[in-house]
Structure 1
Amino acid sequence: MKFNGTLHRYNDHQVAFEYEPVGLPNALIMIGGMTDGLTTVPYLTNLPHVLEPLGYSVVQIQMKSSFIGWGTSSVKEDVTQIKQLIGYLKSEEGGNKKEIVIMGHSTGSQDVMQSLLSISDEIKAGILQASCSDRECFTLYASKEIRDDLNARAKKLLDEGKDDEILSREYMAYTNDTPVTAYRWCSVMLPEGDDDFFSTDLSDDALKQTFGKINKPFLVAYSEKDEFIPQDIDKHAVLKRWESISNPQFWSQNSGIVPGASHGVKQPASQEFLYEKVSAFFEEFNL
């Protein structure tokens, strides 16, 4: 499939792709999940045309963590690069964009959460799509005995100050053959690690430090048939709990479950529903 648009280099080593139509006054920055890179998120094909009437170009960021780079990176490093892209897009070279909304797919939702908590002055709003827990996803692929063993060994390296040490190859059986550091493994797989925003067993106090502190409008679009969420999790209850802890001034009333959607929202009907909710979110908050 061919994509038309403009490729931007926003720092010395990373690029971002602005889909046609380009040159609109504002930008939605799209952040992919683990193993994603430019153009890999399925619903990006038509999203630029959905947002065109609202004055937003769609710009997908490529970061150090894109494709298989996530295992040696961090959410905080991602946010540093997102901030660099925002600065570039607001410059003359980047198109003098006025307003910036960020949207994350899957693990990209963790970047959206961290951005809302740490650089909220830089952005107008955020969208979290397929914001599932990587820690809970791991339970689908490994027994508790295996998980406890792998986690304990990674945590030991962390406790010894060996955060950047690459874990042994056996870990790669659970990371799509991605090399992963002790830090990133623990960040993703241990309770209340730096990546652990969306696990359903987090305490209210933990959620108050994340959802409860968001001070910009945000939309949550949860995939109904997300294959990476354990089947015994009540998605409606999860959303209701997140909403109850969030500031009602900023929680979008368009948040909810995307009917029939897989993790990547590959289904055309589900994509159309997502587009409608995103458009309604922009109108709800006059973005």
Structure 2
Amino acid sequence: MKSPPLSPYGVFTGQLFQYSTNPSLIAFESSPRPAQVGRKTAPQSTGNMCILLGGLSDGPIPTPYTKLLEEKCHSMGWSLVQPILSSSYLGFGHGSLSRDTDEIVRLMEYLVCHHSAERFALVGHSTGCQNSVHLLKYGRRDLINRVKAVALQAPVSDRESIALSPGNHAANILHAKSLLSKNEGDEMMPRSAFWAPITASRYLSLFDVDGDDDFFSSDLTGDELHARLGHVGDIGRETGLHLLVAYSKNDEYVPEYVNKDDLLRQLVSAMNGLDHGRDGNIDFDGHRGVARGIMLENSNHNLSTNDNDKEQFIEAFGELLILERLLDS
């Protein structure tokens, strides 16, 4: 019998647990391990927990850099936690960012109470970036104060990306708005509207102008971006949080008309509360800002096409953890 390929994104060892009374809400934690004593090893509780949040239709092991991320976390004394949310896999079609935030808060609370978590880092991929930004604004404040590092990898606009696929998107928006006006936002859109089952409310959230998920569109003004992202800088200046925005030059979900370099600068500037004409890595006082950006020159949306870009992103995230450790010492 021909052997199937080994898990392409890596093999992980750790603890699987429910973090809620809802039995479908589970998470997997892989922890640094101490030196082997005799024949026994045991997970080492460090108090440092990095939560990886994937994009639409993702679950655990959402990206090809997941194993590299785990290795980096472990080398610096951090556990990697990979949750399943109600919005994981095809659940996103009837979900919302608010529901995701509520469940991530439950996960963090569980980790504090039962896994001795003291600090958190977040790594968001694709829609996991919206989750991360939304959580920082609407999550429980005592838990958000524990978040010391955030990386947004591929923070792209779902509204702009839908235009790259065939279909009458304008008509779908009108249909979804019609359902919403009749208090039928939980009704499903036609099968032709999207590749996955999706409600009218979620469709508008993802694909309408000023939808709840509309954080990263290139046509948003500076004021509009700041209204959506400015809280990142406010929180960072208060708590010591630092954030990395990683954009891919060859992201297949970004239209060709988007100037990715300009958009990256605008996103970072909005988070830092800066004018667009200034360096998005520097704050008003001339010091390094809360947010900084990197452009991954050779890779695609999930960094599956270039190993060097995977490593560059993971190293940049590791620098955030080093910075957090220096600030905490």
What TM-score do the two structures reach when normalised by structure 1?
A: 0.92
The aligned counterpart of 1:283 is 322
Return the alpha-carbon distance in structure 2 between the equivalents of residues 212 and 262 of structure 1: 27
Q: Which of 264-273 and 68-77 deviates more?
A: 264-273
- Measured in 1, the distance between the counterparts of 2:254 and 2:58 equals 19
8 Å contact kept, 1:24–1:52: no
DSSP 3-state at the match of 2:161: helix
- Check the 8 A contact 2:31/2:78 in 1, yes or no: no
Counterpart AA for 1:166: M
Instruction: Please report how far the alpha carbon of residue 102 of structure 1 lies from its aligned counterpart in structure 2 after TM superposition.
Output: 1.3
**Equivalent residue runs for 1:41-190 within 5 Å:** 41-91=63-113, 93=114, 95-119=115-139, 121-122=142-143, 123-142=147-166, 146-171=168-193, 174-175=194-195, 178-190=196-208
Query: Which deviations, in whole Å up to 9, do the C-alpha atoms of 1:34-65 show, x marking residues without a partner?
Result: 01011232110121111123221110111000
Question: How far is the alpha carbon of 1:96 from its aligned partner?
Answer: 0.4
Cα deviation for residue 20 of structure 1 reads 4.4
How far apart, in 1, do the equivalents of 2:30 and 2:257 lie? Answer: 38
User: How far, CA to CA, are the matches of 2:31 and 2:48 in structure 1?
Assistant: 13
Secondary structure of 1:116 counterpart: helix
User: Shift of the alpha carbon at 1:117?
Assistant: 1.2
Which structure is larger by alpha-carbon Rg, 1 or 2? 2
Corresponding residue for residue 244 of structure 2: 219
Q: Deviations over 1:176-214 (max 9, x none)?
A: xx2100000000010110011011111222212122121
Residue 46 of structure 2 is aligned to residue 24 of structure 1: yes
Provide the residue aligned with 1:264 in structure 2.
302
Contact 1:218 1:250 in 2 (8 A): no
- Cα deviation, 1:65-87, whole Å, max 9, x if unaligned, reads 00111000001100000000000
Deviation at 1:124, TM superposition (A): 2.5
Does structure 1 conserve the Cα–Cα contact (< 8 Å) formed by 2:187 and 2:200? yes
CA distance in 2, matches of 1:8, 1:182: 33
Runs of at least 4 residues off by over 6 Å: none
1:119-157, Cα deviation, whole Å (9 max, x unpaired): 2542223221100001100111136xx111111001111
Structure 2 gap ranges (5+)? 1-6, 33-42, 237-241, 273-282
Q: Is the 8 A contact 1:37 1:66 kept in 2?
A: yes
Residues 228-268 of structure 1: CA deviation (Å, up to 9, x unaligned): 11122111100111222222365334x21123121111132
Question: Which residue number in structure 2 is paired with residue 230 of structure 1?
Answer: 255
Matched residue, 1:9: 18
The count of corresponding residues between Structure 1 and Structure 2 is 278
Please give the alpha-carbon distance, in whole angstroms, between the structure 1 residues aligned to 2:148 and 2:320: 12
In the alignment, is the contact (CA less than 8 A) between 1:16 and 1:62 conserved in 2?
yes
The SS at the match of 2:291 is: coil
* Kept after mapping to 2: 8 A contact 1:227/1:262: yes
SS at match of 1:36: coil
RMSD across aligned C-alpha pairs, in angstroms? Answer: 1.6
Question: How high is the TM-score relative to the length of structure 2?
Answer: 0.80
